[in-house]
Amino acid sequence: MDASAPLSPSLAPVGCYFAGDDNLRVTVLNGLAGVTVRVAGRFLHCEAGAAPRIEPFAHTLVPASDRTASTLTTRLGTGWLLDVQAIASGGTPLTGQTFVILSVVRGLSGGIEDLATLAAGYLTSTQRVVWPGDRIHDSLDGGGALRSISGTTPAPGAEISETVPAGARWQLLAFRAQLVTDANVASRVIRLLVDDGANILAHTSTNVGQATALTYTYGWVQGPMTGAVGQVNALLFGLPNLLLLGAGWRIRTSTASIQVGDQFSLVQYLVREWIEGS
């Protein structure tokens, strides 16, 4: 420890001492395009032979939007970190979309050793992640981000399949799609499935046959597992409450007697999303 360091706690009682080879690391897991994270704070320099001085610092990081980790490691010097905060200075992420970890590491490149976590949490363009004063949040804390997602329109005769992206956790709140049947005589019955990428975990059958050359809209929402309710050609079904899905899991249809010209479209669903942080 530098000779001047013992003087510092009286100046900065909640400071965090940085030896010369300790650095501040910012790790961002982000699911939104156009986000810029700004990290700023104050550092009390206590270099040998120099008078202590407080210097503000600020850095920006444009994270990847695929929920993989983007990092920025910055050298602050020898002395005491007084405070630091992170905020979205670009983009408008919702709580649940941009997760930030502020930590102390040793080394600047190559083999970097993670030493201590200062703060972790979701940020927005108004809500900051701060140290000191904030606690270390889990990325699965809180209500998540509400997202309405337009899915893939499959080719004629193909099923719907929507996959939870890497690094995300979803809670399925509602799902909706339209099926237009072709001229082949058959009674199509849709099942909505959840699988883990290989094994089917849950399914709900509509138990409604859709005949030739008809257009039906199917909806599923969280709630009681009632039979179909609704108007002619617009049907509503139940989904289990608290249906959580991990990365790589799928929401898909499996349609009995689907025909070559049957066309699913208008695939739209509502999820609550968290960063998994894996």
Partner 1 sequence: MLRCRSCGGIYEPELPDKTRYFHACPPLSAHEILDEHAAGTSVLSPPTLAALDAALAADRATPPKAGEPSRVDQVLASLTIERPNKRDETVTHAAEPGLPARIKSDGAGVDVRPAREP
Positions that interact with partner 1 (CB under 8 A): 31-34, 64-68, 91, 97, 147-161, 163-167, 187, 189, 191, 195, 198, 200, 209, 247-248, 250, 252, 254-260
The most distant pair of C-alpha atoms in the chain lies apart, rounded to whole Å, by 90
Reference 189, options 211, 167, 169; nearest CA is 211
* C-beta of 81 vs 194, nearer to partner 1: 194
Contact 253, 152 (CB under 8 A): no
User: Can you tell me the distance from the alpha carbon of 6 to that of 160, in angstroms, rounded to the nearest whole number?
Assistant: 64
Contact 201, 195 (CB under 8 A): yes
* C-beta of 132 vs 156, nearer to partner 1: 156
Question: What's the min distance (Å) between Cβ of 272 and partner 1?
Answer: 14
* C-beta of 31 vs 41, nearer to partner 1: 31
* C-beta of 165 vs 238, nearer to partner 1: 165
Question: What's the min distance (Å) between Cβ of 213 and partner 1?
Answer: 17
- The strand order across the sheet containing 98-106 reads 69-75, 22-30, 98-106, 113-122
Question: What's the min distance (Å) between Cβ of 92 and partner 1?
Answer: 8
Reference 206, options 254, 170, 242, 149; nearest CA is 254
Question: What's the min distance (Å) between Cβ of 30 and partner 1?
Answer: 10
